[in-house]
Amino acid sequence: MHLSPVEIKVNIEDDVAAALSALGASDSAMITRRIWFAEDREGVAQGRVALLEDGVIVRFRIGGDADDLTVKLRPCVRERLVGRFSAPFDAEPFTYKIEEDWSGKSRVLSASLVRDHPSGALSGAVETGADPATVIDAVQDRFLHDCGPAVPIGRLVALGPIRSTKFDDVRLDDLDVDLEAWSVAGLDFLEGSIRVKPKDEDDLEKLTERAERKQRKLEDAVRERGVALSEHPESKTRRVLTALAGSGQD
Q: What is the pLDDT of residues 121-138, one digit of tens each?
A: 999 999 999 999 999 999
At 170-227, the pLDDT tens digits run 999 999 999 999 999 888 999 999 999 999 999 999 999 999 999 999 999 999 999 9
Whether 114 is in a domain gets the answer yes
Shortest CA distance to 81 belongs to which of 98, 93, 65? 98
For the chain, the average pLDDT equals 93
Q: What's the pLDDT score for residue 65?
A: 86
At 3-50, the pLDDT tens digits run 999 999 999 988 999 999 999 998 888 999 999 999 999 999 998 899
Total number of domains in the chain: 1
CA dihedral 55, 94, 59, 211 (to 10 degrees): 60
**Does this model's pTM top 0.75?**
yes
* 156: pLDDT strictly greater than 80: yes
- The amino acid that residue 52 corresponds to is L
At 43-90, the pLDDT tens digits run 999 988 999 999 999 999 999 889 999 999 999 999 999 999 999 999
* 236: pLDDT strictly greater than 90: no
Range ranked top by mean pLDDT from 87-96, 185-194, 240-249 = 87-96
Whether 187 is in a domain gets the answer yes
159-171 mean pLDDT = 95
Tell me, what CATH number does 187's domain have? Answer: 2.40.320.10
Per-residue confidence at 145, pLDDT binned at 50, 70, 90? very high
Provide, rounded to the nearest whole percent, the portion of the chain with pLDDT above 70. Answer: 98
* 161: pLDDT strictly greater than 70: yes
At 210-224, the pLDDT tens digits run 999 999 999 999 999
Whether 1 is in a domain gets the answer no
Whether 56 is in a domain gets the answer yes
Domain extent for 27: 6-246
* 250: pLDDT strictly greater than 80: no
Provide, rounded to the nearest whole percent, the portion of the chain with pLDDT above 90. Answer: 82
